[in-house]
């Protein structure tokens, strides 16, 4: 099973014992993933709250690649900065979003990471069709390195944000000439109006996704429970099995024949003394042999 967490790269070193050599920032991610019991996962290459470029030395990139190859089984994915808005009609925000995405794609190539994950963003008045057109044209202006794929993440669907409906995901695939994929966030999918609380509901939702988007585009899953119910459009993650998706829904997701072989990255909170290690172990308990 490919399961892990969104881990931090912060700090000058992470060492579990005196025999472990100092880790630079990127190798912190591998070390933390192992400490949580994960074998794949997600990272920010820099602060997601500001417009900043990844700062990677050759040593850091080479170390991250070798540590990953030696210790992990599943693929990493880079999550783009929160400020990126592919759908925006505003020229300055579009330029900054394009520069940020290009920097992440270049970093992914240096790090040997096959995916860069991004939200479509908000159309802010351009309308759904206009927003999707804006996003597609921006994506097609990017220089995507060989071996790297952009993943569009499903959204909770509040306000003018796009990605909450499967038709938005299908729409961006249809519009772009770039080979893009999809990352489904289970919490976002639930609150956007798709039931995931029972095996029957999961099967129906997966079937609709396949009909509208195509399972061949689904590359990664953000596995999160939700503190809010179906159709509320409120994005707040919960511990695995302790939210509105619940244990039955989570068990159905991680065992579904069309989903079980995909990599799962957790973005769950730390609450009641339960952090990533607890959540990853919970996922493994829900998985059938």
CATH number, domain containing residue 182: 3.20.20.150
- Whether 11 maps to a domain, the answer reads no
Answer whether 42's CB lies under 8 Å from 117's CB: yes
Spatial separation of the C-alpha atoms in residues 138 and 91, rounded to whole Å:
11
Answer whether 197's CB lies under 8 Å from 248's CB: yes
User: What are the tens digits of pLDDT across the range 18-50?
Assistant: 444 444 578 899 999 999 999 999 999 998 889
Answer whether 202's CB lies under 8 Å from 253's CB: yes
Q: Indicate the DSSP class of residue 80.
A: P
What's the confidence (pLDDT) of residue 207? 98
pTM for this prediction: 0.94
- Whether 24 maps to a domain, the answer reads no
User: What are the tens digits of pLDDT across the range 145-180?
Assistant: 999 999 999 999 999 999 999 999 999 999 999 999
Contacts of 151 (CB under 8 A, 6+ apart): 77, 115, 116, 117, 118, 180, 181, 182, 183, 219, 220
Domain that holds residue 115: 70-286
What's the confidence (pLDDT) of residue 14? 46
- Whether 8 maps to a domain, the answer reads no
User: What are the tens digits of pLDDT across the range 186-221?
Assistant: 999 999 999 999 999 999 999 999 999 999 999 999
- Whether 60 maps to a domain, the answer reads no
Whether residue 16 is predicted with pLDDT greater than 50 in this model: the reply is no
What's the confidence (pLDDT) of residue 10? 82
Whether residue 224 is predicted with pLDDT greater than 80 in this model: the reply is yes
- Whether 204 maps to a domain, the answer reads yes
Whether residue 13 is predicted with pLDDT greater than 80 in this model: the reply is no
- Whether 132 maps to a domain, the answer reads yes
User: What are the tens digits of pLDDT across the range 103-150?
Assistant: 999 999 999 999 999 999 999 999 999 999 999 999 999 999 999 999
- Whether 25 maps to a domain, the answer reads no
What's the confidence (pLDDT) of residue 150? 98
What's the confidence (pLDDT) of residue 18? 41
CA 224-167-81 angle, to 5 degrees, is 50
Lookup: tokens for 168: 């938005």
What's the confidence (pLDDT) of residue 24? 54
- Whether 7 maps to a domain, the answer reads no
Confidence of residue 263 (pLDDT cuts 50, 70, 90): very high
Over residues 68-85, the mean pLDDT reads 96
Quote the percentage of the chain above a pLDDT of 70.
95
In total, how many domains does the chain have?
A: 1
């Amino acid at each position: 099973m490919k399961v892990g967490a969104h881990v931090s790269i912060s700090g000058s070193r992470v060492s579990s014992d005196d025999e472990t050599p100092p880790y630079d920032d990127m190798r912190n991610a591998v070390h933390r993933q192992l400490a949580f019991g994960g074998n794949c996962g997600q990272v920010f290459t820099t602060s997601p709250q500001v417009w900043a470029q990844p700062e990677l030395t050759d040593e850091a990139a080479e170390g991250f690649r070798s540590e990953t190859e030696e210790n992990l089984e599943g693929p990493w994915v880079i999550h783009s900065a929160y400020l990126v808005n592919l759908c925006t009609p505003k020229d300055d925000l579009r330029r900054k979003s394009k520069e940020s995405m290009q920097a992440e794609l270049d970093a992914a190539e240096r790090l040997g990471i096959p995916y860069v994950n991004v939200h479509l963003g908000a159309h802010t008045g351009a309308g759904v069709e206009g927003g999707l057109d804006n996003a597609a044209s921006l994506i097609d202006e990017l220089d995507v390195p060989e071996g790297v794929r952009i993943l569009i993440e499903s959204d909770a669907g509040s306000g003018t944000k796009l990605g909450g409906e499967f038709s938005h995901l299908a729409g961006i695939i249809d519009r772009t000439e770039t080979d893009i994929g999809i990352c489904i966030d289970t919490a976002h999918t639930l609150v956007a109006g798709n039931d995931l609380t029972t095996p029957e509901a999961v099967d129906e939702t997966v079937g609709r996704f396949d009909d509208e988007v195509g399972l061949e585009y689904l590359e990664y899953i953000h596995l999160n429970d939700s503190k809010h119910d179906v159709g509320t459009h409120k994005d707040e993650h919960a511990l695995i099995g302790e939210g509105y998706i619940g244990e039955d829904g989570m068990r159905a997701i991680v065992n579904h024949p069309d989903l079980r072989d995909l990599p799962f990255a957790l973005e769950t909170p730390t609450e009641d003394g339960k952090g990533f290690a607890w959540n990853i172990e919970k996922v493994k308990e829900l998985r059938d042999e």
